[in-house]
Every structure is written in C-alpha cells, then in structure tokens.
Amino acid sequence: MTTPGGLLLVLAVLVPFVAVMTGLVLGGRNAERVAMATVGVGLIIVLAIASALLSSREAVVYLLGGWAPPLGVALRADGLSVVMMVAVGVVIAGVAVYGRGDFGTPVGVRETRASLTFWLLLMAVWGALNLVFVSGDVFTLYVALELLTFAGVPLVCLDGRGETLRAALRYLLFALLGSMLYLLGAFLLYGAYGTLDIAMLGERVGAGPLTWTAAALMTAGLLAKTALFPLHLWLPPAHAGAPAAASAVLSALVIKGSWFLVVRLWLDVFPGVITWSAAQWLAGLGVAAILVGNIVALRQVRLKLLIAYSTVAQIGYLFLMFPLAAGARAAHMDGSAAVTGGMLQAISHATAKAAMFMAAGLIYAALGHDRLADLRGVGRVLPVTVLGFALAGASLIGLPPSGGFLAKWLLISAAVSTAQWWWALAMLVGGLLTSVYVFIVVMRAMAPAEVGWAPKRVVPGYQQGVVLGLALCSFLLGAAALLPADISGLGRPAIAWAAP
C-alpha cells in the first residue's frame, strides 16, 4: 500500500524534470533562475522524505496509479535510498551555486548554448538519480539509468572541443554496452519469474544457470557504467576534459547511480544467489582499481587528470562492502557495518570529489593552467580553495574525523571480524598512496610565487565558499557515528546471502 509521504517520491522525480521543461521554454537566463528555485524546492522534498522514513521507520512506498506489483509499479525509499538522496541534493545545491560563476548569464550578456545546456542537464541528472534511488522494479531502474546516461554524457562536451567530443563518444559507447547487458539480464529475469518488482524477485529468485547468467550480465553492464577497473578507460578523459562544475557532477554523482544499482541487485534481488566467492572476485577488481588508479594518479602532470584517476581508485573502495557483508552473513554475524561503511564511503567521496574538481577549476581560472609543477602562488590568492582541497583530500585518505575515516573504520572492522584481513591491508595501502599525491598538490600550491606574479582572474568568493563547504561536509561526516540509529538500515529486510 501507499504509505504516508509516498507522494513525495513522485515529486522528488518530477520536480527536476519539470524544471528541465520550464527552463527549455523560458531560455538560458531564466533556466538558471528555474534551476536555483528548483534546488530549494527539491531539498525540502528530500528532507521531507527523510522525515517520513525516520518517523515510521518503514520504507516509504507509492503505488503508481494505485496498482500493486506485479501489475503495477511501486516507488520505494528505504534507508539506502534516503541517505543517497540527501547527499545528492547537497552536492547538486553546491554545484548549482558554483555553476553561476561559470554558466551564469548576467543581464546585458548574450545567452550561450553551454549555459542553457548546463542548467537543463544539471536538473535532468538530479531527476534521473532520484528515480534510480526510489525505483522499485528492475525495468524502471533501467529507464532511470538511461535517463542518467543521456543527461551525463553531454556534460562532458559542453565546450564543444574535439577532444571532449571524443571522450563523450567513448563514454557513450561504454554506457550503451552496459545498458544492453543490463537489459538482457532483466529480460531473463522476467522470463523466469514473471515479475520485475525488486521485492517479489527477492522472494522468488533461486540459484540456477539462468539466474546466474542474468546476475552476471546485469553486473557486468553496471560495472562498465561505473568505470570499475578494467572498464575505466572512458572515465579519465571524460571527467578531466569537462568543465569543473560538470566534472564535479560526473565524478561525485553520475557514477554513483550505476553503483547503487549493483548494491540494489546484490542486496535485494540476488542475495540468495550471489555467493561469497563471487563477492571476492568483485572486490578483487576493486582492489586492482585502488592500486592502479592511485599509482597512475601519481604519474599525472595535470591536476584534473590526477583527480580523475583518483576517482578510478576511490570507486574500488565502494566494492569492498560486498565480500565483507557476505562474509558476515556466512558467519551468522550482523553485516550492517559493511553496508553502512560502503554507503558512507559513497557519500564522503561524493562531497569530497565535487569539492576537489571545483577547486581545480578555480585554480585553473587563477593560473590559466592546472600543471602540477607550476602551482606555486595559488595558495596565496586562493587560500580557502586550497584549504578545501586539503580537507577533501584528508577525507579520501581517511583521516579522522572525516567521513572517509568512519567509512574505512567500519569496513576494516568488518574485514577483521570476518577474518578477511587482505581487504583491510588494501585499504591501508590505498590511503597511503592517496596521501602522497594530496600532499604533493597542497605543498606545491603553498609554495611562494615568483616576484611580480599576479593571478589571471579574480575568483568570486562564493565559489571558494562552495568548495570549502562541500569539503567540510565530507570532513565532518564522521559525526554520523553520533547518530542514535543506523539510518541506512531503516525499512530494509535482513539479507540472506547464499552459502560460500
């Protein structure tokens, strides 16, 4: 049945898309105003959904048209959905404020294609992500994923340069391949079980060749969209070549959509099918991403490319939760610490990486380049920006009291309690490698400038404030340990993993 607050789920999806259509009709200058107004309304809706979940402690549900599954489609928001929706809303708000400096259209200035496109795509990404988080069936998730893809790809090539167009096309090819594999797996599930509703599939799905094939196809497709090693080749040029505000959206948010689908499938649809061994293989790819991404990041000469390869590495941490949760279940222990750690890692990475890409954009504006060897002097003219970059980097490293520290603490604790020490070692090595390139960037930025040097452009203070604000969100996220309840576990059934 539709629960109190269920209609809010529809509004969370519709309001951003209504803003897209309204902005398209009203034009570039007004599209910015529509987007800023929508940010405020959207945040209120998301907080209201969180309040409904906390008050009832049960999943918020809305039945579209009043028809219950399998005939109808249900929207559901449990603890996993709500924490991601709140995090995405905060990052979207920060990017929107920051984007006014790069894509705003002042009075008397001619409207540009890039400005109009940015605001429309920003709202489209938000609406698509909200649909990913509240979708209650596998096919609606596919629709949401496609909306997210076609909103995210154009963000790469807003400047229209040849190299960004090539990066966008490569991104699109990987995304379409992933979608095809995912949809093929969904067809197999429907043919075998007669429904695509996640709750019903979780009850009906059983181990067998067809189910294993569907799980493998859908997971492989989503890994291509998430850019998990070795399917990461499209990510660095796409994220490094896009404008700073677009890079922040792509790295912090867009890749989280496909990762969230993996979480939804493995925890809610296939927990009785996915074995402990399969989870080990998936996390093994995550460790490879951590090592390769960090090592290649250390070899970069441009700041944005360094941050992009850092994203490749940080994606790897997100997949360590699966063997830890599976190991806890196999040992008849509570696996919520591993799931909560994975969700905290996703949220702290989203806020930190958005701050880092936007900081890189401001550094480029001030210096006229982002070469790592020539960052001296930027700490004097952009002290707030460099501080924000350092705090975001501290969260990626996992220094207390950051969200990255709490996430890694939970994951390492789960690794120790389930006797999977090798994952803890991988996290510690990854943190050390991350600390090296964060230290290099900060030290070079703090070096004194040459005599007579002046910045190319004066950076608005509010843009620096956004960078620091998002970095502080990530750095202080460790305070989530003081919350009286594990919000990510609200409204969720127990996970019944398959035997090893």
- Of the chain, the percentage scoring pLDDT greater than 90 comes to 58
Longest dimension (CA), the chain: 73
Please compute the mean of the pLDDT values over residues 368-388 and round it to a whole number: 90
Q: Residue 353 — very low, low, confident or very high, per pLDDT cuts 50/70/90?
A: very high
**HSE of 251, CA atoms in CB hemisphere, 13 A:** 36
pLDDT at 313 over 70: yes
* Reported confidence tier of residue 124, pLDDT bands at 50, 70, 90: very high
Residue 277 pLDDT greater than 60, yes or no: yes
Higher-confidence position of 72 and 471: 471
> Do 230 and 184 meet the contact criterion of CB atoms below 8 Å apart?
no
Give CA–CA dist 248/254, Å, rounded: 9
Question: What does the DSSP assignment read for 411-474?
Answer: HHHHHHHTT-HHHHHHHHHHHHHHHHHHHHHHHHHHSPPPTT---SSPPPHHHHHHHHHHHHHH
Question: Does residue 481 or residue 422 have the better pLDDT?
Answer: 422
- Residue recorded with tokens 């070079």: 444
Residue 187 forms part of a structural domain? no
CB 394 within 8 A of CB 255: no
Q: Report which of residues 450 and 475 the model is more confident about.
A: 475
Q: Is position 332 within any domain?
A: yes
Question: Residue 440: pLDDT band by 50, 70, 90 thresholds?
Answer: very high
Q: Which two tokens stand for residue 277?
A: 């061994």
pLDDT at 370 over 80: yes
Overall domain count for the chain: 1
What was the pLDDT predicted at 136? 86
Q: How confident is the model at residue 101 (pLDDT cuts 50, 70, 90)?
A: confident
* Residue 261 within a domain: no
Band the pLDDT of 494: cuts 50, 70, 90.
low
What rounded mean pLDDT belongs to the chain?
Answer: 89
Q: Are 363 and 306 in contact (CB under 8 A)?
A: no
CB neighbour list of residue 236: distance below 8 Å, 6 or more residues apart: 305, 308, 309, 312
From CA 115, how far away is CA 184, in angstroms rounded?
37
Arithmetic mean of pLDDT, 385-405: 93
- In Å, how far from its chain's centre is CA 186? 23
- Is residue 485, in this structure, part of any structural domain at all? yes
Alpha helices in 299-446 (DSSP H): 303-318, 321-330, 336-367, 378-381, 383-397, 403-417, 421-446
Helix (H) or strand (E) holding 61: strand 60-63
List the one residue out of 337, 321, 345 whose CA is nearest residue 395: 345
CB count, 10 Å around CB of 33?
14
Q: What is the mean pLDDT of residues 269-293?
A: 89
Asked whether the predicted pLDDT for residue 346 surpasses 90, the reply is yes
**Residue 481 has what pLDDT?**
72
pLDDT for the residue numbered 155:
92
**Beta carbons within 8 Å of 448's beta carbon, 6+ residues apart:** 376, 377, 380
* Mean pLDDT value of segment 49-65: 88
| Band (495; pLDDT cuts 50, 70, 90) | low
* 379 closest CA partner among 393, 389, 369: 389
- Write the DSSP symbol of residue 100: H
Does 366 map to a domain? yes
Predicted confidence at residue 276, as pLDDT, reads 80
User: Is 203 a residue whose pLDDT tops 90?
Assistant: no
The neighbour count for residue 167, using CB atoms within 10 Å, is 23
Cα distance between residue 500 and residue 497, in whole Å:
9
3 state SS for 174-216: HHHHHHHHHHHHHHHHHHHHCCCEHHHHHHHCCCCHHHHHHHH
Question: What pLDDT is recorded for position 500?
Answer: 47
Gap between the Cα atoms of 239 and 423, Å rounded: 28
Distance of alpha carbon 267 from alpha carbon 274, whole angstroms:
9
Q: How far is 459 from 312, CA to CA, in rounded Å?
A: 29
CA angle centred on 463, ends 461 and 469, rounded to 5°: 100
- What domain range includes position 444? 275-500
Q: How far is the CA of 419 from the CAs of 249, 325, 410, 415, 423, in angstroms?
A: 37, 12, 14, 6, 10
Residue 91 lies inside a defined structural domain of this protein: no
Among 113-127, 200-214, 268-282, the range with the most confident prediction by mean pLDDT is 113-127
For the chain, what percentages of helix, strand and coil (3-state, to nearest 5) are there?
75, 5, 20
DSSP-derived 3-state class of residue 490: coil
The reply to whether 381 falls in a domain is yes
- For residue 181, being part of any structural domain is answered with no
Confidence tier at 496 by pLDDT (50, 70, 90) = low
